[in-house]
Amino acid sequence: MTDISEVRDSAEILRQELMKEISRLNRFSHRGVLALALFLVISMFAWWGFFFLPSPDTVTAVLGRPPSARIISIALLLYTFSAIILSLSRMTAGIEHRSSFSHVGYLTAFFLFYYFGKALEDNYWAVFGSGVTILGVESYRIWTYCAEGIAKNQEDIEYVTRTGRPPPQE
């Protein structure tokens, strides 16, 4: 009699662990959208000319001359393609990676470089377009990773409920 109750208990524990993982994946699936929303807020401040930052002349007097807009644009182009390729390779490999917010930081740095180089007005749309593209791909990657994990865990819960045993390992 204890064997049956132990099997039920272990099945219930496994079901609870799978439910926790589904809950974690649900929370994690929103990460890309939150990063995109943060980027949009920063983009609004860039559009308004970073009114709360010191003037570019004040900063360049302390730090020195910023890189030219052409150099910043080349770096932005390289970063954009690298980030997209990296995200797509993570997607095909099925890797859980939490890089969305780091992309927001890098893109903010490009806005700031252009701002301090007095070239933000001419290059705003380049950074904005790169950011929306990178963060859109990242958001989709995270969402699909989570959707696949949730579907697998739900299948495992159904198997445990039906059989009372752990699902077979793949």
Q: Which of 37, 29, 11 is nearest to 142 (CA)?
A: 29
Mean pLDDT of 88-99: 86
The answer to whether 92 and 141 are in contact (CB under 8 A) is: no
Place of tokens 């589904």: 22
Indicate yes or no: pTM above 0.85: yes
Distance CA(83)–CA(79), nearest Å, equals 6
Distance CA(25)–CA(142), nearest Å, equals 9
The two three-digit tokens of residue 149, written as one number: 């994990």
pLDDT in tens, 98-130: 778 999 999 999 999 999 999 999 999 999 999
Distance CA(25)–CA(60), nearest Å, equals 45
Confidence of residue 1 (pLDDT cuts 50, 70, 90): very low
**What torsion do the CA atoms of 86, 89, 91, 97 make, to the nearest 10 degrees?**
-50
pLDDT of residue 6: 64
pLDDT in tens, 67-84: 999 999 999 999 999 999
